[in-house]
Structure 1
Amino acid sequence: MRRAKTSGKPQSSATGRFGHSAAGPAGPPGWLPEWQMVPGTNFVVDKFGRKTQDSIKCKSWFLTHFHSDHYQGLNSRYKAGLVFCTPITARLVQQRLKTPADRIRIVPLNTPLMVEGVRVTFLEANHCPGAAMILFEPPGAVPVLHTGDCRCHTSMQLEPCLQPLRGKLNLILDTTYCQPQYDFPLQQQVLQFVLEAVKAEAFNPGTLFLFGSYTIGKERLFLEVARLLQQKVYVSPTKKAVLDCLGLAPEYASLLTTNDSEARIQAVPLWMVSLKQMARIAKHYKGRFSTIVGFQPTGWTQKSGVQDTERGRASHGRRRQKGTLIVYQVPYSEHSSFRELREFVAWLQPRRIIPSVGNDSGPKARDMVAALRPA
């Protein structure tokens, strides 16, 4: 998600914006968002632009996952320092961005390592494949958990390295959906809704199913549907190359094809799942498919009125139809709902919360933090 810019005004605290002591690491320049430099260290997270590379004296850089708003600045000419990331993210960075292999350090999940004297542990973020939360434990400083982009889940409360740090660390938190109206269902519930919808629509052999996705992300829906129907799913050659980096289980990998004549299920860019775009696709497949059913999997569908008015909570999806074109808006999100954010904060009890999305370094940020703290 797009990150808000900071105001650029330094804080007046004697310990600096990150709580660094005079003897600790120097604070970042005012233009660098505080959620992209780890307090107590000189580490930069998800910020690789030329200005950052030229201005920050940093040897160790961290990439939480392979989404463009996080890796922007990484390319074949990158030489600023070592980039630490998960195996899947590393394969994608090398394949798609051509970043030199000697600039990348692969870090498996749940495998602590020492980086410049700081204990660093990558943890499952429940976001797109390869995404990680990163726990930093600088000597003599407050530990920091940087969530990157994440979908909080109760399983995170079982992480052995987090349990002893409850109430003792600072939290840099993905606040994409930090508003009460974003109370969408669990991923598994939405997935089940989609599977049932597909079964209900699949009676017609002339139905083409479209599933919106990103370069990486939202794969679970179309892979599970393909497995359920035991049918091939078409992906573009570019998407196939990305999926090959994920190490998919054979039961899923065997269902992928780059020949659209073999499949009635297609993974397409999310923007293509709209009545306007689907009408164009219908013309392309005239004579082969008589109906097109598209799925829009994103938490932003909440803004479009996907509500269960009787319970006052999010429904699992909404069906819209125009002639032979059908769109399902489903709140399948790979970011935390507002309820999940509050539950995670209540469990972790961080000393400080630093929002990483929508942070204006002012009233908006303070309101988000206040909303996340249990009353």
Structure 2
Amino acid sequence: MRVLLSTYGSRGDVAPLVGLAVRLRELGAEVRVCAPPDEEFAQLPAGTGVELVPFGPPVRALVTGAVPVAGGPPQRAAELVAAHFDTVAAAAEGCDVLVATGLMPAGVRSVAEKLGIPYVYACFHPFELPSPHYRPSLRPGRPNPPEVTDHRALWDLDAERVNALYREPLNTHRASIGLPPVDNVRDHVFTDRPWLAVDPALGPWQELTDLDVVQTGAWILPDERPLPDEVVEFLDSGAPPVYVGFGSMPMRTSPDVARVAVEAVRAQGRRVLVGRGWAGLALTDDQDDCFAVGEVNHQALFGRVAAVVHHGGAGTTTTAARAGAPQVVVPQMVDQPYWAGRVADLGIGTAHDGPVPTAESLSAALSAALTPGTRARARAMAGVIRTDGTTVAAELLFGAVHGGRAPV
């Protein structure tokens, strides 16, 4: 069986897909992964035998503003649609099934249609899928009318925004390969049977929707890398520190977030381990209670810290929960406020009120996360998180190709 996995997004979109690719290879499948050409993403499948096909412009440059996009979101959407019909279509030749994730992959299902192979849409947080239980995240376009508060009505407006960005380029390319036009791009991409690659304890899917959602569990890429010697030395030199890192978030609204975080952690009498990330966080002084790290194995690191302060990405939230580490979520965008709410509801950490922390507000949130009760709940949650999501998804794909129920 030959499988193409396609995504466009940050590390939180790429790593789970590589995790699935590794499991598929272990089960005997040939796998290609289409992903952004960022150098750090290219390192993820190193040594796994998974072929990585560069797709679209580098994400980090777009997120950090290093490369501004002329024409804004509509131009970016049109370019990504074109890349689906070009790069992804070429990579899909000879494949038996196609899986798409990440930033609205308009065009991938069309490639599968043209090739006559099954197509699966998967997402890494439940809040992306239309539901009466919550509001959609904001997209580029006109703001919601303040008088519209019904969730279903807001999801209808969400579909209109997706159409405004993607429908014209998508239908132009579909016509070029002999396919009929699509009226509702979002629902066409999602299908009526999307996959939810999220741990059911952390992000359960609530029923009573029009979707037949398949929740596989999180797709985890095992990380066997040892921690750097200097990190181990810092960890061994005192009490467990608090890790502070915001992943792929540039943190433009909080340019002094490193100083704020260090002050907040020190106010709790704790040492600090700062993750540089795409915000480029750095130490604010040369005191020996602080240490800065770049790209490291979070699966190994989070089990050795007192708490994890982060942005609330699905991957970081899941990794911290698996490690039994209390969390403080400072949500910035999209699904992150929802993950902050889940962490607070489960009692395994706290949700910071808003995306811009002060030393006082972050210290207060951290104080609550460091209580014995929160740590006990976080450790208990670690025993609940499932690790077989990639196996579940791989078996479903084998079934789709070899006589089981096709995803679409």
What TM bracket, shorter-length normalisation?
Answer: 0.3 to 0.5
Tell me which of the two structures has the higher relative contact order, counting C-alpha pairs closer than 8 angstroms and 6 or more residues apart. Answer: 1
Richer in helix (by share) = 2
